[in-house]
Amino acid sequence: MSEGKVLVVGTTFDYISHINQHAPGQALFITESQERLRHLAEAPAADSEIVTNLRRPHEVVRLLSNHLHRTHSRLRGVVAFDCEAMELASLIGHHFGLPYPSLEVIRTCHNKFLTKAAWEKHGVNSSHAATVSAVPEALTFAENHGYPVILRPLTGTGSVLTFKCSDRLDIIEAFGILKAGSAGSCGKTGKPGQCGTGGDVFEIEQFVTGREFSADFRIDNGFVEIVRIARKIPETGPYFGTTRAYVVPGRLPGELPQELLREQIAGAALALGLTRGLCMVDFMVQQGQPVFLELTPRPGGDCLPDLIRQSVGVDMLLFALDHARGKHNSIPPADRWTRLVGLRLLTRDAGQIRRIDASALQSYPGVRMSKILRTPGHRVILPPDDYDSRLLGHVIFEPSPTPTLEEQIECLAGGLTIEMEPGDAQFTSGKTLPGCSAAGAEDSAA
């Protein structure tokens, strides 16, 4: 019998390829059929992957049991990198006696209102929230707690169907979109119907001001260790809640020591029933205190794994596999991190991509890597119909002292050239700010 593999449930081809390349033979993948059909060339060996419909959990367990029997192998842990796969991972973990958060904990974390209610019950600092099913209820909440307010589905990931409402007209408009449940896909897997769209009950909460951060942390027997902290730079524009860039290491305000943050993260996790896991938490810092927004038992995704790997050499995907099998990897100290920015390359143009060229990005000083996720033929659909397709990739760079970080972000974003098919968006060429060309950035870096 083999030493055992870590089961990776429901992730996408890029994660599968990375794990298969950097930890060969250590993982067994359960992959959604449609995901594999789109990326047949990246499939691992037949004995390392089960391809099936992930919406049939009992069938998944049966296939997995047969696979383990046929290959004379066993499992040492289970991990999921995508919110949509976590319930299935929990069911499998329970069936095979593997440590993983319970189904109740997963569902509490996925439900925005249940999360806030648990935090309020245990005295965890978070915004006040309520459930609403009609416009008058939402207006009453806003009148009692003040504008702006946040209105969104009870469940879901990221900024999907999340609206910042500054007056009653915003609430009426947001309610109409939420009732229609018009998001066609969401999350990393892009599977429709997995983000709480539609429905009749939504969450409303107070808007929290401050600087926003994200953190990965490890919790074992209730003890928390922070793996990384990233500052989040929001996108300006019509799509509220979208992150444009991450900065690591995220420097906390001086009045919030990391040890205090660690203790409060532990309280937030325990209030949700989490005692073991590799988790991600989002929070604002307001008047020297963290105000918690969201917590889920998986590490941060998007460009964060590449950003962390470039900054400190830690591979969070492999870190997660090790944690699942019970291996306690060391966490790099603060002085080992290089300050880097992960810029998400987003487009505001809808249409089918004819040409996409990121070669100019490499001409900017400080660029460590760029990754383009889309190819010609990809169709961009804008929110609220789709929240994923306009993400084209990301670039990791080391910022220079001048110009400002915001100007450097604009420069790099302008290094991506996109051309849409005729009849869709206009030709979008690379653009630079005055004095912010590649040469100008090189001069300022010197």
Q: Render pLDDT for 123-158 as a digit per residue (tens, 0 to 9).
A: 999 999 999 999 999 999 999 999 999 999 998 777
CATH 3.30.470.20 residue ranges for the chain: 210-338
Per-residue pLDDT tens over the stretch 89-129: 999 999 999 999 999 999 999 999 999 999 999 999 999 99
Quote the pTM value. 0.90
CATH 3.40.50.20-classified regions of the chain: 5-100
Omega before 192 cis (within 30°)? no
192-203 exposure pattern, b = at least 16 Cβ within 10 A, e = fewer: eebbbbeeeebb
Type of residue numbered 13? F
Residue 13's closest CA among 46, 39, 32, 48?
39
Comparison of pLDDT for 336 and 422, the residue scoring more: 336
Ranking 7-11, 232-236, 264-268 by mean pLDDT, the lowest is: 232-236
Q: pLDDT band at residue 190, thresholds of 50, 70 and 90?
A: very low
- What pLDDT, on the 0 to 100 scale, is given for residue 165? 96
270-300 pLDDT tens trace: 999 999 999 999 999 999 999 999 999 999 9
188 pLDDT higher than 60: no
Q: Is the pLDDT score of 216 beyond 60? A: yes
The mean pLDDT of the chain is: 89
Which range, of 229-243, 274-288, 420-434, averages the lowest pLDDT? 420-434
* pLDDT level of residue 425 (50, 70, 90 thresholds): low
Distance in angstroms (rounded) separating the CA atoms of residues 136 and 171: 10
Tell which CATH architecture fits domain 210-338.
Answer: 2-Layer Sandwich (3.30)
Residues of the chain with CATH 3.90.1170: 340-445
- The matching CATH number, chosen from 3.40.50.1220, 3.30.360.10, 3.30.1490.20, 3.30.1110.20, for 128-207 is 3.30.1490.20
CATH number (3.40.50.12280, 3.40.605.10, 3.40.50.2000, 3.40.50.20) of 5-100 reads 3.40.50.20
Q: Which pLDDT does position 423 carry in this prediction?
A: 72
Delimiting residues of CATH 3.30.1490.20 domain(s) in the chain: 128-207
**Region of poorest pLDDT, from 48-57, 68-77, 195-204:** 195-204
Fold observed for domain 340-445: Aldehyde Oxidoreductase; domain 3 (3.90.1170)
Residues in Cβ contact with 171 at an 8 Å cutoff, skipping those fewer than 6 apart: 135, 138, 139, 142, 149, 151, 165
Return the amino acid letter for 312.
V
pLDDT given for residue 42 in this prediction: 85
Distances 412 to 238, 369, 403 between C-alpha atoms, Å: 21, 12, 12
